[in-house]
């Protein structure tokens, strides 16, 4: 069989974003982690913040003015870029996560390196318009349909890395081991079904050999992921965990998103998915469980005591009727929280932050589980740490110069005093209020217009239309 060709034609996979010039920004109002400060000057050099000056009432000569409230750039800690093509189409009729998955498989089957590059470039540009400066891309679409590797076995991953660079944002490619179709007592798990053949490398050792050819670059870092305990047999979990540990790379895993996964794991292994991961050395401070929805008290204690993170994706979890995860209990136990847009029902990290608090209010019938500041930390500093960019997510000297600015004079945000900017951002604003995005000192979104992808809606429409069956 002829092996499919590899690289996306839109740009070479090795393309790096242009080095940003040193710049000075004047922030009308800035959230500095604990409070809102008026009149802040941020100077950048070599992509980092070189100086922060407060109490500057007017912009210095030559400074770029960012009017509104400026926050650290946001981190989307869990993304499946190709799911953006499902928006609205999966809202017809009813169903479950499992019926939704069949529609998702149909889109996955039609993607090539070229078409995935085009779609991801548009999706990452949409993220930049929403103030997202870094994305954790949970990537398992590795091979051609039928499972045949491309000439470059990492063609699809390289397409995503190139797409992020062209859209001007950082990416952590969480290259995902996906080896089986379900839990079974047989060694190696159930074989992948026809939809999943292009996800699988066959074994964890083969996965490790392929992913080892991917390299970090200026805007991209390589991490690892275990798709789920359904998709990686128990005896191969340690291989993935050890690969990540040897490189001090982030390791992510879908965890207890569905009760059916828990039931199957108990039936086959006599323990919960969390306990299974703990027993095979997967949990730890570099690991993040995504969703962590249906957990026992012991599961919560295991995740908290090991400092394993939790990435909540509320807009997807409610869209798929997954349930409300115990985020407040997990954080109290010691699990750091981050946020993701997952299936991209919407791309709006402010909505994810708001939803985490409001969902907990519905469950508990009480208010105020997190302050606005705590929710912004989850969306920025803690999210960046979860995907391996711990130097991002703060407006302070030495941090990566990643900023996002929301308008304080839109129909959603007008009225409250600027000192309540954090509360306004989390509980009233939306991605539509983002006016500026700066990545590494480079002004990527200016006055709501993307500097590198001039017509993002058209890019989305065209790339999604190309995938219709």
**Residues assigned a catalytic role:** 291, 342
Tokens representing 199? Answer: 């996800």
Residue partners of 196: CB distance under 8 A and separation at least 6: 178, 181, 231
CA distance 103 to 93: 13
Which residues make Cβ contacts (< 8 Å) with residue 118, sequence separation at least 6? Answer: 8, 10, 163, 459, 462, 463, 466
Q: Are 183 and 230 in contact (CB under 8 A)?
A: yes
CB 48 within 8 A of CB 393: no
DSSP 296-359: -HHHHHHHHHTT-EEEE-HHHHHHTT-----HHHHHHHT--EEE--BTTSS--HHHHHHHHHHH
- The closest of 390, 361, 396, 356 to 376, measured between CA atoms, is 356
197 burial via Cβ count (<10 Å: 0-12, 13-18, 19+): middle
Asked if residues 441 and 42 have their Cβ atoms less than 8 Å apart, the reply is no
Measured at the CA of 87, the angle between CA 85 and CA 91, to 5 degrees, comes to 135
Sign of CA dihedral 314, 435, 19, 52: negative
**Distances from the Cα of 26 to the Cαs of 55, 395, 402, 423, 446, in angstroms?**
11, 13, 14, 22, 14
Q: Tokens in use for 191?
A: 């074989």
Burial class of residue 106, CB neighbours in 10 A (0-12, 13-18, 19+): middle
CA distance 44 to 42: 7
What does R_g of the chain's alpha carbons equal in angstroms? 21
The tokens describing 194, both together, are 């026809």
Helix axes 113-129, 456-465, angle to 10 degrees: 150
- Per-residue DSSP letters for 30-74? EE-SSSEEEEEEEEEETTEEEEEE----SPPTTPEEEEEEEEEPE
- Contacts with 374 (C-beta within 8 Å, 6 or more apart), sequence order: none
């Amino acid at each position: 069989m002829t092996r499919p060709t590899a690289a996306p034609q839109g740009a070479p996979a090795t393309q790096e974003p242009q080095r940003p010039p040193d710049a000075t920004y004047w922030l009308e109002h800035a959230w500095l982690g604990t409070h809102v400060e008026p009149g802040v000057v941020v100077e950048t050099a070599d992509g980092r913040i070189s100086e922060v000056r407060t109490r500057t009432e007017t912009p210095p000569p030559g400074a770029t003015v960012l009017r509104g409230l400026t926050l650290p750039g946001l981190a989307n800690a869990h993304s499946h870029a190709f799911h953006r093509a499902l928006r609205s189409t999966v809202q017809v009729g009813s169903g479950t996560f499992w019926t939704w998955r069949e529609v998702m498989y149909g889109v996955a089957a039609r993607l090539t390196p070229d078409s995935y590059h085009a779609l991801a470039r548009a999706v990452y540009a949409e993220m930049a318009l929403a103030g997202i400066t870094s994305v954790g891309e949970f990537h398992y679409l590795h091979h051609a349909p039928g499972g045949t590797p491309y000439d470059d076995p990492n063609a699809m991953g390289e397409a995503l890395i190139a797409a992020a660079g062209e859209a001007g944002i950082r990416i952590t490619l969480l290259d995902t081991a996906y080896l089986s179709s379900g839990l079974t007592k047989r060694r190696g798990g159930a074989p992948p079904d026809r939809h999943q053949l292009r996800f699988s490398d066959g074994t964890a050792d083969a996965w490790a050999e392929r992913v080892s050819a991917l390299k970090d670059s200026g805007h991209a870092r390589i991490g690892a992921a275990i798709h789920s305990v359904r998709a990686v047999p128990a005896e191969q979990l340690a291989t993935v965990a050890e690969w990540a540990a040897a490189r001090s790379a982030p390791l992510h895993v879908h965890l207890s998103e569905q009760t059916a996964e828990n039931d199957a794991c108990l039936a086959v292994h006599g323990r919960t998915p969390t306990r299974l991961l703990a027993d095979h050395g997967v949990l730890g401070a570099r690991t993040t469980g995504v969703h962590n929805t249906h957990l026992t008290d012991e599961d919560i204690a295991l995740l908290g005591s090991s400092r394993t993170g939790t990435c909540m994706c509320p807009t997807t979890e409610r869209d798929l009727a997954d349930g409300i995860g115990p985020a407040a209990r997990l954080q109290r136990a010691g699990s750091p929280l981050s946020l993701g847009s997952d299936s991209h029902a919407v791309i709006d990290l402010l909505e994810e932050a708001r939803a985490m608090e409001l969902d907990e209010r519905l469950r508990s019938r009480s208010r105020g589980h997190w302050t606005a500041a705590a929710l912004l930390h989850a969306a920025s500093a803690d999210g960046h740490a979860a995907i391996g960019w711990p130097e991002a997510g703060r407006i302070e000297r030495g941090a990566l110069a990643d900023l996002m600015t929301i308008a304080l004079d839109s129909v959603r945000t007008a009225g409250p005093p600027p000192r309540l900017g954090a509360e306004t951002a989390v509980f009233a604003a939306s991605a539509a209020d983002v006016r500026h995005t700066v990545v590494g000192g480079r002004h990527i979104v200016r006055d709501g217009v993307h500097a590198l992808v001039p017509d993002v809606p058209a890019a989305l429409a065209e790339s999604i239309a190309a995938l219709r069956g």
